[in-house]
Protein backbone atom coordinates (compact mmCIF):
# COMPACT_ATOMS: atom_id res chain seq x y z
CA UNK A 1 0.00 0.00 0.00
CA UNK A 2 1.16 3.54 -0.77
CA UNK A 3 2.07 5.65 2.24
CA UNK A 4 0.47 8.99 1.29
CA UNK A 5 1.76 10.79 4.36
CA UNK A 6 5.34 9.78 3.52
CA UNK A 7 4.91 10.93 -0.09
CA UNK A 8 3.45 14.24 1.07
CA UNK A 9 6.32 14.77 3.53
CA UNK A 10 8.90 13.98 0.82
CA UNK A 11 7.20 16.41 -1.59
CA UNK A 12 7.16 19.15 1.02
CA UNK A 13 10.84 18.58 1.81
CA UNK A 14 11.79 18.65 -1.89
CA UNK A 15 9.94 21.91 -2.66
CA UNK A 16 11.17 23.50 0.57
CA UNK A 17 14.80 22.68 -0.21
CA UNK A 18 14.42 24.19 -3.68
CA UNK A 19 12.78 27.33 -2.30
CA UNK A 20 15.28 27.88 0.48
CA UNK A 21 18.34 27.06 -1.63
CA UNK A 22 17.43 28.97 -4.78
CA UNK A 23 19.87 31.56 -6.07
CA UNK A 24 18.11 32.03 -9.42
CA UNK A 25 14.34 32.42 -9.72
CA UNK A 26 12.09 32.81 -12.76
CA UNK A 27 8.58 34.27 -12.73
CA UNK A 28 5.80 33.76 -15.24
CA UNK A 29 2.15 34.59 -15.83
CA UNK A 30 -0.46 32.67 -17.82
CA UNK A 31 -4.05 33.65 -18.66
CA UNK A 32 -6.44 30.73 -18.99
CA UNK A 33 -9.51 30.41 -21.24
CA UNK A 34 -11.92 31.31 -18.41
CA UNK A 35 -10.17 34.60 -17.62
CA UNK A 36 -8.15 33.37 -14.65
CA UNK A 37 -4.54 34.36 -14.17
CA UNK A 38 -1.84 31.96 -13.05
CA UNK A 39 1.46 33.12 -11.59
CA UNK A 40 4.46 30.83 -11.22
CA UNK A 41 7.72 31.18 -9.34
CA UNK A 42 10.18 28.56 -10.56
CA UNK A 43 13.78 27.53 -9.99
CA UNK A 44 16.14 25.39 -12.05
CA UNK A 45 16.69 21.83 -10.86
CA UNK A 46 18.42 19.12 -12.87
CA UNK A 47 17.91 20.93 -16.17
CA UNK A 48 14.23 21.78 -15.63
CA UNK A 49 12.27 24.72 -14.24
CA UNK A 50 10.43 23.48 -11.16
CA UNK A 51 7.51 25.51 -9.79
CA UNK A 52 8.00 26.29 -6.10
CA UNK A 53 5.26 28.91 -5.76
CA UNK A 54 2.03 29.17 -7.67
CA UNK A 55 -0.82 31.66 -7.39
CA UNK A 56 -4.18 31.43 -9.13
CA UNK A 57 -6.31 34.57 -9.40
CA UNK A 58 -9.78 33.43 -10.43
CA UNK A 59 -12.05 35.49 -12.70
CA UNK A 60 -14.12 36.24 -9.56
CA UNK A 61 -11.01 37.75 -7.92
CA UNK A 62 -10.30 34.93 -5.48
CA UNK A 63 -6.61 34.18 -4.86
CA UNK A 64 -5.30 30.67 -4.22
CA UNK A 65 -1.63 30.21 -3.30
CA UNK A 66 0.44 27.03 -3.28
CA UNK A 67 3.98 26.34 -2.11
CA UNK A 68 5.79 23.80 0.05
CA UNK A 69 3.92 25.31 3.00
CA UNK A 70 0.50 24.77 1.39
CA UNK A 71 0.57 22.09 -1.30
CA UNK A 72 -3.17 21.71 -1.91
CA UNK A 73 -6.78 22.51 -1.12
CA UNK A 74 -9.25 22.75 -4.02
CA UNK A 75 -6.20 22.88 -6.30
CA UNK A 76 -2.54 22.03 -5.89
CA UNK A 77 1.05 23.04 -6.60
CA UNK A 78 1.85 21.70 -10.03
CA UNK A 79 4.24 18.79 -10.20
CA UNK A 80 5.04 19.45 -13.86
CA UNK A 81 8.15 21.32 -14.93
CA UNK A 82 7.64 24.55 -16.88
CA UNK A 83 8.81 24.81 -20.47
CA UNK A 84 8.64 28.53 -21.32
CA UNK A 85 9.72 27.90 -24.89
CA UNK A 86 6.73 25.56 -25.41
CA UNK A 87 4.10 26.65 -22.85
CA UNK A 88 2.05 29.86 -23.30
CA UNK A 89 3.84 31.69 -20.48
CA UNK A 90 4.81 35.33 -20.19
CA UNK A 91 7.97 36.16 -18.23
CA UNK A 92 7.25 38.79 -15.58
CA UNK A 93 9.37 40.72 -13.08
CA UNK A 94 9.83 39.28 -9.60
CA UNK A 95 8.11 42.36 -8.19
CA UNK A 96 4.89 41.59 -10.08
CA UNK A 97 4.89 38.03 -8.80
CA UNK A 98 5.50 39.23 -5.22
CA UNK A 99 2.70 41.81 -5.48
CA UNK A 100 0.22 39.07 -6.38
CA UNK A 101 1.68 36.54 -3.91
CA UNK A 102 1.41 38.89 -0.94
CA UNK A 103 -2.04 40.39 -1.59
Phi and psi torsions of 81, nearest 5°: -65, 150
HEC per residue, 64-85: EEEECCECECCCECCCCCECCC
64 vs 95: CA distance, rounded Å: 18
pLDDT recorded at residue 77:
92
- Convert the pLDDT of each residue in 36-65 to its tens digit: 999 999 999 999 999 999 999 999 999 999
Q: What is the pTM of this model?
A: 0.90
Is 4's pLDDT higher than 90? no
Output the average pLDDT for the chain: 93
Amino acid sequence: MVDLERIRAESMAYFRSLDEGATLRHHFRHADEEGGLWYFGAVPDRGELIVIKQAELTPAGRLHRYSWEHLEDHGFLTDQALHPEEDPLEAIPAEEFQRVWTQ
